[in-house]
Structure 1
Amino acid sequence: MAVDLPPNVHVSKHPCLLAKLSQLRSGTTSAKEVKGLIHEISLIVGCEALANAVVAVPGPTDNTPLGFPYETTQITPETISLVPILRSGLGMVESLQTLLPTPVPVHHLGLYREPTTLHPVEYYNNLPNHVASASAEAPSSLAIVLDPVIATGGTCAAAIQTLREWGARRIMVLGVLGAAPGVARAAAEWPEGVEIWLAGVDEELTDRGMLKPGLGDVGDRLFLTIGK
Structure 2
Amino acid sequence: MNLADLAWPELGARRLLAVPLGAVEQHGPHLPYTVDTEIATELCRRLGHQRPEIVVAPGLPYGSSGEHAGFPGTLSIGQEATELVVTELVRSADDFAGVLLVSAHGGNALPVHRAVRRLRYEGRNVRVWSPDGPAGDTHAGHLETSVMLALRPESVRTHRFQAGNTEPLPGLIDRLRAEGVRGVSPNGVLGDPHGASAETGHATLRRWTEALLEVAATLAEDGIM
Q: TM-score, normalised by structure 2?
A: 0.37
The alignment's TM-score, normalised by the length of structure 1, stands at: 0.36
- Higher strand proportion, which one? 1
Structure with bigger helix share is 2
